[in-house]
Structure 1
Amino acid sequence: MLVDPRSLARIRGACVGAVSAVVSVAAHGLAGGAAPSESALSLLIVVCAAVGVLVASAPGATSGPVMLAAVLTLGQVIGHSTLWLTAEHAHAQAWTPQMLAAHAASVGVAAGVIRGAERAYRRAVSALARMLPVFFTATPPHVSPVHTTGRGPAPILDVLRAGGTGTRAPPISV
């Protein structure tokens, strides 16, 4: 079964945004930066969510492994720069070898995991598409034939003529 490319793009965008945020915080700490403040984390979440939305909005443009690695790298650079700009203490923006190695390794690992998640999603959706029709086959409802008496509107007129003197009237106080 063919999977809608927009749903795969949404998964890819969410993963790229989340990985960008997590790896940015980890690499920031590895580079000697202090723990980010709440406002810095809030801004990081907004920025990385925006990166994820941009990835999700271009389903065909980011589907290849090279483009996926490129947007992961871009997301991490943007995220790490956000943390650097909002740092409460001054530290150099020098890209240390440890930080570059952490970013490069995380790009490779994250790209592989995201591609695996997309493949698993395709298989799961295909399996569900094959199983659901078996479990939920709709049987036509049983409709009994309508029997008419041939009298027309007479039963309605009988009810209207009966008035309120039948058993449905309020009780009479004695």
Structure 2
Amino acid sequence: MDERNQGFGRAETPTRRGDASGSLARSPPPTTRGNRRATMSPIYLTEGIVIPDADLYWRFSRSSGPGGQGVNTTDSRVELSFNLAGTTALPPHLRQRAIENLRKRMAGGAVTVAVSEHRSQLRNRRTALERMEALLQKAIAPPPPKRKPTKPTRGSVRRRLKEKKRRSDIKKLRRNTED
């Protein structure tokens, strides 16, 4: 074992900041599934509705694609999950609307967004947050107003019939008149 790290666990290593504070850099505690919980920022859906960071679950893994020599050493792929069925951050009517709109994307009551577009885990995390925010905002949005059934205007009927007559005349010219 390295002398500098003696007495520290794997998740605790002394930091070098140039001061003698001897502070420790600790990784976040594992969740029940062994995944690390990462703190970013909460998701702001509307003015009064905020999904706290505690309701978001992050999972990191190795990503395929660009990365050069570091592709096999960094966990740049990000999965962001949100337990939609069990959250208290959304009012019941919005939660029900979101569940109905996202039922095909849900697995076990949770909605998951996976991102592995960028080489950087931080950029992938930001992209995942943006996608989750857009997905939830679209899911809780009220349905559009129903269309009022209306009759076609006189002008549109006249134009349609005029075009129909013109096409009919064109097709009449194609007929064989030798009968």
TM-score of Structure 1 vs Structure 2, range by shorter chain: under 0.3
- In terms of fraction of residues, the more helix-rich structure is 1
- In terms of fraction of residues, the more strand-rich structure is 2
Greater relative contact order structure (CA < 8 Å, 6+ sep): 1
- Give the number of the structure whose alpha-carbon radius of gyration is greater: 1
